[in-house]
Amino acid sequence: MHALKQPHSPKTTTSSAKMLERVLSSRRVSPHPDDAVSDSDASTILGDESKTKKQSLSLLAANYMSRLSHFCTCPTPCLILCLLFVFVYIASLLYHSRDFVCVSPFDPKTRVGFFGLDGLESDFGALGVPWCRSKHGKTVEWTSKDLIKGLEEFVPIYETRPIKNNMYGMGFDHSFGLWFIARWLKPDLMIESGAFKGHSTWVLRQAMPDTPIISLSPRHPEKYLKKGPAYVDRNCTYFAGKDFVDFGSVEWKNVMKKHGITDLSRVLIFFDDHQNELKRVKQALNAGFQHLVFEDNYDTGTGDHYSLRQICDQFYIRGGGHSCFRDSDETRIRPKRKKFWEKAVDIDELCGPNEAWWGVRGFMRDNFNHSNKPISYEEHFQNSRFIESILDVYWELPPVAGPSLTHQTRYDPARTTSPIVEDGRYGLFQRLGLGRLETSVFNGYTQMVYLQISEQES
């Protein structure tokens, strides 16, 4: 495996009522060198090029120009109207330029865009993006340039996929993320828990054509062939159908011996099984595995299982914690986000009894939401401390491109890191071939995450 470097730790915050009232203005998308804390070394995430930053006036204008290009294809009168629209917008930006300089960009008033609308693409991270803290501050060695180069290579591969309509399965963003991680790490064995129709198996195969795969799934992908496209791999060992065994019940020592694997750091595990991710991390750690990818890393208040993102959503982590106060900034902003983003969460959906905001309204979900266990904040807090004690690397896949380019409406940018291809970079979006894809394939983003773990240090 490639050597891996570490992310830095976010600044510690308090949970006092005063800080709760102002928690929104203290959040940021990801750690920054200036935010170093005493218990961790500081370094940037994804390198300098992929740090979250506010868009410039020119980029905002370019963003809206790219939006207008989709409907300004009519004759001269319409073109004149479009140009007038752009002129008024730029004039509005210049007139209110003081907001970009003198006022916090996380103040809701400064995020009111053209025509007074909230929820612009430039709001990436405005509601905070919690980032799991690792033991020594390592991060991945790949950069945004590597991701862009990977996109250029992956788009034509994705266009050959056997399952064109992968409803309820992975879309483009996560397909690219899984392919990129597997291709970069070059494991000797790949294991997936949850195969559905076999799309993720196909993605792994494209990344590593000759590497053995072990697939665990309650239903064998071949069963889907009777109803439509599916993928069954010839170099894959299936624990599926009548032979299904849950990941936590597999005798992994025997399986590794059978496959000739002696170094477990050469194994990549992919989880897309909608199980409690804390449980899966513990099972993988007990088996000796180190490299894990979770497909559905659901945000706090959403999803059908307890996720790493939810576990690391803590007040002491920069970008984490929530305010359930009815007169707080967060309470006022969240309903406005729902007008723009299908998966945005209102305060009533986020907060449960006694202002419980962790997990999903204070519940730890598991097993496709068939198991719901209320947990205290103390337990939730201890879960985060445990993850930190065994975590070497935590990296969330950014969205592939901004919403004005992909026209996605599901994930809320206010709870997400900046995309690989930012809004306004229409030329790059087209050059990479992303414009050839149907917009529906971009609507499946749920913060896929890569982890590297190891035993607690004594």
Read off the pLDDT of residues 130-164 as tens digits, 9 standing for 90 and up.
999 999 989 999 999 999 999 999 999 999 999 99
Q: Does the structure show a pLDDT above 70 at 82?
A: no
Residue 401 near residue 60 (C-beta atoms within 8 A): no
Mean pLDDT computed over every residue of the chain: 81
pTM: 0.77
37 vs 34: CA distance, rounded Å: 9
Q: Does the structure show a pLDDT above 50 at 49?
A: no
User: Mapping DSSP to helix (H, G, I), strand (E, B) and coil, where does residue 259 land?
Assistant: coil
Q: Quick one: pLDDT band at residue 71, thresholds 50, 70, 90?
A: very low
422 vs 403: CA distance, rounded Å: 9
58 or 359, higher pLDDT: 359
Taking only the tens place, the pLDDT of each residue in 410-458 is: 999 999 999 999 999 999 999 999 999 999 999 999 999 999 999 988 6
Average pLDDT estimate for 294-313: 97
446 vs 295: CA distance, rounded Å: 7
Residue 74, burial from CB neighbour count under 10 angstroms (0-12, 13-18, 19+) = exposed
Tokens of 277: 């991710």
Q: Does the structure show a pLDDT above 70 at 62?
A: no
29 or 190, higher pLDDT: 190
Average pLDDT estimate for 207-235: 94
Tell me the H-state helices in 45-171: 57-68, 76-95, 98-102, 144-158
With a pLDDT cut of 90, the percent of the chain lying above it is 68
Residue 266 near residue 289 (C-beta atoms within 8 A): no
* Most confidently predicted of 13-27, 85-99, 418-432: 418-432
Q: Quick one: pLDDT band at residue 91, thresholds 50, 70, 90?
A: low
Other CB atoms within 10 A of residue 86 CB: 14
Q: Does the structure show a pLDDT above 70 at 365?
A: yes
Tokens of 255: 């399986």
Average pLDDT estimate for 287-294: 98
Backbone angles phi, psi at 369, to 5 degrees: 70, 15
3-state secondary structure 298-349: CCCCCCCCCCHHHHCCCCCCCCCCCCCCCCCHHHHHHHHHHCCCCCCCCHHH
Least confident of 37-51, 68-82, 392-406: 37-51
Taking CA atoms, 260 is separated from 201, 255, 256, 283, 416, in Å, by 21, 9, 6, 21, 40
Label the pairing between strands 213-217 and 189-193. Answer: parallel
Domain extents in the chain: 55-104, 128-453
